[in-house]
Amino acid sequence: MISDAQLAANRKNAELSTGPKTAEGKEAIALNNFRHGLAGAFHFLAWEKTAEFDSLLADLRSEHNPQTATEQILVERMAQHEWLRRA
C-alpha cells in the first residue's frame, strides 16, 4: 500500500500526462494498439491495400476449403495474423 503523500504525487503527475500535442506525436501513438495484433478488432491502416488482403484471404480459402463456421473463422484469423505479421 502506498502512502498518502505518494498517492497525492501520483495524482499530481497524472494531471500533467495529457498525451501528445503535436500532429507527429498523435500520429506516432495512433499505431500503439497495432503492435502485436492479438487483442482488439482487426483494422486496415489508411495506406494498406485491401485488395492484397482479399487476395490472401481468397488463396487461404482455396487452399484450406473451410466447411464449417469454425473453419471459416480460423481461415480468416490466419489471413489477419499473416497480414499483421508481414508488416
DSSP string, 14-78: HHH-----SHHHHHHHTTGGGSS-SSS-----TTS-HHHHHHHHHHHHHHH---SHHHHHHHHHH
**What are the residues whose beta carbons fall under 8 Å from the beta carbon of 62, sequence distance 6 or more?**
none
| Cell numbers at 8, concatenated | 497525492
pLDDT for 2 beyond 80? yes
What element of type H or E holds 80? Answer: helix 69-85
pLDDT on residue 13? 87
Average pLDDT over residues 1-10: 90
Q: Is the pLDDT of residue 35 over 70?
A: no
